[in-house]
Structure 1
Amino acid sequence: MRMTLRSTNPDHEVPDDLVLWRYLDFPKFLDLLASRAIKLPRASKMEDPFEGVMGSGATKAALRAAKGRGEKSYLRNAVANREQHLSFFWRERTYVSCWNAFPSENAGLWRIYGDDKGVVVRSTWRSLRQAFTGNADVVEDVFFGPVSYREVADDSSFPLTFTDQFFVKRAEFVHEHEFRLVAHDVSRDHNYGERDTTGLPQFATLECDLDQLIEEVLISPRLGGWVRDTVEDVSRKYGGAWPVRRSAIYQPPPNQILDF
């Protein structure tokens, strides 16, 4: 299947030099090397149970607007529940790849996603975009863009499409500063089982050129220096030419200043 990248906001161009980080444990890094593909998990399998679901503030605002239009209460409730049902329907059929948009590595994210067992892949939007070969398994349109963070209990604005809902997260996750790839499985074979999700793929797979994608691999600052050699050796065995280094964020300052 051929995939196409689509912006969530065509009026706002993502800069090519936007630095993106993907924190991985070592097994997932090996899977990236072996599959030569980025795997997007189903939104319903992600940690945040509110992925893709409209916030309570937006739901209340929609109900107030419907009441202002003179709609009957039972109709307002039915429409709200239909929207909620569709949100959960698409959670099972939407796939998300999460990157972190920071100019440098982040000590907090090391702690959360792989402090004692992880690596991080550094890329840029240009490198990520150009790495895709155009081949995918279960998705066609892949949307990209930054995530916005809101106090969803108070925020009365709501996304216009179910795709947009996956680019909004609760303010409690603002520390992630996410940039996402989001794709929907629109296959008739996968989308019309309603509540039966047993046949749905666990991942959507986007083939990519790893040497184009990976600009650098960093080893967790809490792992021994020998791990760098191991990761570099594994990278070379899979044909990777990217540099590998251990994070230096906890390297102590010199105890003597030698500059004049």
Structure 2
Amino acid sequence: MIRLTDAIRTGEFEFMDNIFPDEKWEPAQPASDTELWRYIDFTQFVSILENDALWFSRAAGFFDSYEGALPPGKLREIADGVSDRVSDQEEFILAFYNALRNSTYISCWHEASEETAAMWQVYQQKGKEVAVKTTASRFERALDTGSKVVSGQVEYIDYSNTADITVNRISPFFFKRESFEPESEFRGVISDFESPDGVRINEDFTDRVAEESSPGMSVAVDTSELIEEVYISPVAGGWLESLVDDVLNTYGLEDIPVHPSTLNEDPFE
């Protein structure tokens, strides 16, 4: 159980600066013309066009259980910052960051100069049939100017030996373990973290945040700006290329080119 001092029970969140100490931190940015790819299924593709929106998924539901986690050294450092007001400091900080990942939403993209066989092999098993290509600058321009999205490159670190990372509400979601480095990930992140009304920081805190947070968030985008080109899975038939082309025409996006996968090119023909 997380036991709180009377100061925390009666206080509000004036100690937030200790928990999220680096509010001005921003993620590294790629060159504006860096190509970004998102591998999705056909229904997700149609949903983007129909809603003029990207779906950002809740971080707590991702495959990587370390999403939003702090390296142990950094966890201890931040826990020490609240030691004068909280007992069981590390549990207390873990509750905050677990709640944070239940109320943070992410759209993941792969940085590459061309479509990637490894990405198709990973995502085809999940029924992904379409790759949307954009660039870093297009991604930014496609978002509404009032958007709360923070975007940038993921940095891959050794969690077991690293304490030297900057921390705010967003930064834990731009660090991943080195084993994920082949993903070469660019992502957009939204933090929707708030303490539920009337709830103190106790053992039920994370559960309440998870219950009151949605499984994802739809973020408005200008699809004509976002989508530069579309590529079709190397295992999909030509019928899908034609269907994607027809759907783009239906939504007034006939200028966006649709390509069969270059992985199917035959050098002997």
TM-score (norm 2): 0.78
Q: Is the 8 A contact 1:8 1:144 kept in 2?
A: no
**Backbone CA RMSD of aligned residues:** 2.9
Q: What residue is the counterpart of 2:58 in the other structure? A: 42
Of the candidates 119, 127, 132, which is equivalent to residue 130 of structure 2? 119
Q: How many residues are treated as equivalent by the alignment?
A: 237
Of the candidates 228, 232, 243, which is equivalent to residue 257 of structure 2? 243
Q: What residue is the counterpart of 1:3 in the other structure? A: none
Q: What residue is the counterpart of 1:258 in the other structure? A: none
Cα distance in structure 1, aligned partners of 2:24 and 2:266: 42
Q: What residue is the counterpart of 1:223 in the other structure? A: 236
List aligned pairs for 1:1-260, cutoff 5 A. Answer: 9=26, 14-56=30-72, 58-59=74-75, 62=77, 78-114=88-124, 117-134=128-145, 141-186=148-193, 194=205, 195-196=207-208, 197-241=210-254, 242-254=256-268
Q: CA deviation at 1:190?
A: 8.4
Counterpart code for 1:250: N
Q: Is the 8 A contact 1:134 1:207 kept in 2?
A: no
Q: Which runs of 5+ in 2 are unaligned?
A: 1-22
- CA separation of 1:186/1:165 partners in 2, compared to 1, >3 Å: closer, same or farther? closer
Cα distance in structure 2, aligned partners of 1:163 and 1:133: 19
Cα distance in structure 2, aligned partners of 1:190 and 1:99: 35
Deviates most, 165-174 or 116-125: 116-125
Counterpart code for 1:51: E
Q: CA deviation at 1:214?
A: 0.3
Cα distance in structure 1, aligned partners of 2:264 and 2:177: 31
Q: CA deviation at 1:159?
A: 3.2
Cα distance in structure 1, aligned partners of 2:115 and 2:215: 29
Q: Which runs of 5+ in 1 are unaligned?
A: 1-5, 256-260
- CA separation of 1:152/1:186 partners in 2, compared to 1, >3 Å: closer, same or farther? closer
Q: CA deviation at 1:32?
A: 1.1
Counterpart code for 2:258: V
Larger fraction in strand: 1
Cα distance in structure 2, aligned partners of 1:118 and 1:191: 46
Counterpart code for 1:44: A
Q: CA deviation at 1:7?
A: 9.1
Counterpart code for 2:102: E
Q: Is the 8 A contact 1:134 1:206 kept in 2?
A: no
Cα distance in structure 1, aligned partners of 2:198 and 2:43: 30
Q: Is the 8 A contact 2:25 2:166 kept in 1?
A: no
Counterpart code for 1:104: E
Q: Is the 8 A contact 2:131 2:232 kept in 1?
A: yes
TM-score (norm 1): 0.80
Counterpart code for 1:183: I
Q: Is the 8 A contact 2:39 2:132 kept in 1?
A: yes
Q: CA deviation at 1:59?
A: 3.8
Deviations 1:16-65 (A, max 9, x none): 101111110112112111111011111111121110011335446x39x9
